Structure formats: C-alpha cells, structure tokens
Amino acid sequence: MYDLNFSESAGWAVDGMGGESIVYSPKTGAARTITAIVERHAPEQFDAGGPMFSAITITVRNHATSGILATSINWGGDTVTLAATKGGTAAAYLLVGPAPISQDAGMVTLAVNVPQRR
C-alpha cells in the first residue's frame, strides 16, 4: 500500500518541482510524452582525450505508463527526447546504464548520454 501511495504522489512532486515535457521512446513499444525534472550540468570528459558529454540527469515517475519503469529499461536502446540546453532544440539521446542513478517506489533518476561536439 505504501509503494502505491508513494508512486501516485510522485506525479505531483515532478510537476511541482518545475518538470518539463520530454518524450520517452522505448526500443520496443510506443513513444510517450512524460514529465521530468531535467538537470543540466557543464560538459565533462570521462576519459583523457575522449569525447565530452553533457552531464544531464532526469527524474521521472517510476511508473510503466506515466513515467519510466526502472525495471523495464532497455539500456542502449531506450531514448529520451529533450533539449540539451534550456530552450534549445530537442533531440533523442540514449539513457546511460547499466542501472538508474537512484530509484524508489515513486521516482527514478537516470543519466542521459549527450555527446558534445568539439
């Protein structure tokens, strides 16, 4: 019962914290628009001489239809379409795995793979 109540209240939290619309596209299945808290950070380089990546995380409901169900993510196949910069043009980006950054019954936080051009 607690998990159900927590999951149902997660939608209010995402909306109340300034959530924005993004499109979640599972590798298999229909794309859907969901609300996410999108955190955009300065680009980082993870390996010396390697490509730069924007450190973007999204927090969404941990739900099969109104968010992203953490246990059903296809790492390397599922994408989210969002703007890498606030107000920028949206594009599709892969979710970074092999596991969520954090999750509970109501919310899941995921990393987004946004390569940077040099």
- Which CATH number do you get for residue 18? 2.40.10
Q: What is the pTM of this model?
A: 0.80
Structural domain boundaries, residue 67: 2-115
Answer whether the bond into residue 98 is a cis peptide, omega within 30°. Answer: yes
* 8-53: pLDDT as tens digits: 555 555 555 679 999 999 999 999 999 999 999 877 766 677 666 6
Region 77-90 average pLDDT: 93
Contact 35, 11 (CB under 8 A): yes
Reported confidence tier of residue 1, pLDDT bands at 50, 70, 90: very low
Indicate the SS3 state at residue 2: helix
Q: Is 70 exceeded by the pLDDT of residue 3?
A: no
Where residue 79 falls (left for φ over 0; alpha for ψ -120 to 50; beta otherwise) is beta
Spatial CA neighbour of 22 closest among 90, 101, 105: 90
The tally of domains found in the chain comes to 1
Contact 33, 20 (CB under 8 A): no
pLDDT at 104: 94
